[in-house]
């Protein structure tokens, strides 16, 4: 009888101890996850901006070196130097393969080359940007970044740099990635944080049971 009472008291003590320990751990865990999610998002966005800026600038440099000369159009033909690049996606696709980023090359406000495709798998060439903020920044010779660029109904993290004929701005280069892909990466990291927290909580409860 005494042994049964002792077991009951031990079981009750364990449950009480577990409850006392679990509540603050849960509260701290929720705070930790919330702060961790915010920190991950902010840190990832900073890295995205740096990566996209680098890709856009390198794209300008690569095309300038590969196709030196004046940039222009003849109808729907896109010319760099003496080369007609209309429909030539070899270099732009290689840049996308190496970086994982979508690329567009504009003459004025019109996409002449792009890796971005519509729902039917067609490249969205000869489409324009109607974002006045982008065009204003580029025309002033500045670079432009946004975490919410609407392209063909889909939102992107996007970075734009001016494209020049000598000292004259004639277009721009875009590098971007979809918001959806970034959100997926953040969710993966947050899931790992939650798993670590749950493992820690279980470890605390196991330790508590050992001393009950």
pLDDT averaged over consecutive 10-residue blocks of the chain (212 residues)?
47 52 63 62 80 96 95 92 94 96 96 95 94 95 94 94 94 94 65 68 64 54
- The strand ranges marked E within 76-143 are 77-80, 83-84, 102-107, 110-114
**Which pLDDT value is given to residue 103?**
98
pLDDT of residue 45: 82
pTM above 0.85, yes or no: no
Q: What does the alpha-carbon distance between residue 8 and residue 4 come to, in Å, rounded to a whole number? A: 6
First to last CA, the chain: 19
pLDDT value, residue 97: 96
The tokens of 176 are what? 């971007």
pLDDT at 75: 86
Residue 118 backbone phi and psi in degrees, to 5: -85, -175
For residue 169, what are its two tokens? Answer: 């701005």
Strand, helix or coil for residue 86: coil
Predicted local distance difference test score (pLDDT) of residue 100:
93
* Per-residue confidence (pLDDT) for residue 181, from 0 to 100: 78
Beta-bridge partners for 117: 123
């Amino acid at each position: 009888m005494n042994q049964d009472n002792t077991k009951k008291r031990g079981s009750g003590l364990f449950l009480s101890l577990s409850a006392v320990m679990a509540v603050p751990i849960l509260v701290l865990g929720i705070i930790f996850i919330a702060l961790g999610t915010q920190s991950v998002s902010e840190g990832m966005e900073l890295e995205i901006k740096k990566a996209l800026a680098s890709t856009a600038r390198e794209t300008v440099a690569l095309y300038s070196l590969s196709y030196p000369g004046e940039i222009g159009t003849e109808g729907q033909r896109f010319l760099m130097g003496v080369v007609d690049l209309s429909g030539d996606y070899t270099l732009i696709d290689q840049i996308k393969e190496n970086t994982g980023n979508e690329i567009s090359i504009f003459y004025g406000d019109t996409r002449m080359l792009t890796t971005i495709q519509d729902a039917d798998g067609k490249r969205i060439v000869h489409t324009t940007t109607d974002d006045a903020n982008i065009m204003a920044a580029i025309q002033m010779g500045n670079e432009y970044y946004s975490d919410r660029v609407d392209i063909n109904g889909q939102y992107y993290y996007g970075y734009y740099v001016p494209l020049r004929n000598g000292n004259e701005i004639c277009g721009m280069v875009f590098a971007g990635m979809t918001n959806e892909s970034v959100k997926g990466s953040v969710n993966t990291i947050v899931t790992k944080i939650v798993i670590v927290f749950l493992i820690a909580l279980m470890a605390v409860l196991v330790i508590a049971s050992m001393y009950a």
